[in-house]
Amino acid sequence: MDSYHIWCNLKPGVRDLEFAAAVAAYLGRLQRDGLIAGHRLTRRKLGFGPPGLGEFHIVVETEHLAQLERAFQRVATRSGAVERLHARVYSSVQDVQFALYRDFPDPVRKRARAASGPSGGRRSAGRTRPH
């Protein structure tokens, strides 16, 4: 699973519940169309969090990067119903930052580790080779 993270603040005058509804409508549409696996919107609580990250945090989950690319390709057309939903979200935010994460260890890494043994093919520092 890949997770596309978005941190942002709302522009002055944007109402928080209207923003939440816009995010749900936009990402819900992408999910219904099979372009993302899921999404979540969270809000910083009690002001806790790194100062450089926004008050709101959106996580978009995809099964793999190909699915995320398909979502990006759809949104990049900047037309139709998806663009109207997208515009309601991006026109509401400022101070936006993005990141892409993956589950770890992911299935590829798990297979590689299983094939090479529990140490992942590396000797532990405490082991010695017989002479």
Q: Which CATH number fits domain 2-106: 1.20.120.420, 3.90.79.10, 3.20.20.80, 3.30.70.100?
A: 3.30.70.100
Helix (H) / strand (E) containing 57? strand 56-62
At 47-78, the pLDDT tens digits run 899 988 999 999 999 999 999 999 999 999 99
The DSSP code for 11 is: P
Task: Give pTM, 2 decimals.
Answer: 0.81
Domain residue spans of the chain: 2-106
Q: Tell me the H-state helices in 42-79.
A: 65-76
